[in-house]
Amino acid sequence: MQRLVYFLYHVRYEDTDDEDVKLIGIYSSHEQAELAIEQLKNKPGFIDYPDDFQITENVLNQDGWVDGFIDLPE
């Protein structure tokens, strides 16, 4: 049986060199993640970027990145 979890992120400047990603938490339901957004969206910093929250659904105990990676030259 697959168990789902919900990651809540706040992502500013997505897909730019200045991208700022914060992992807010991991929740047992989409509804719990939405409640966290409601509690945070009026806090300092978040209040200026209320539309930058993202919830992603993930399967518990399943690898999410399995292809390895390469280093890019700077």
Q: Is residue 33 classed exposed, middle or buried when 0-12, 13-18 and 19+ CB atoms within 10 A define those classes?
A: buried
Distances (CA, A) of 34 to 1, 40, 46, 57, 66: 24, 10, 14, 13, 29
* For range 34-60, the mean pLDDT: 96
Name the residue ranges covered by the structural domains of the chain: 4-59
Instruction: Please provide the average confidence, as pLDDT, over all residues in the chain.
Output: 93
Whole-model pTM: value is 0.82
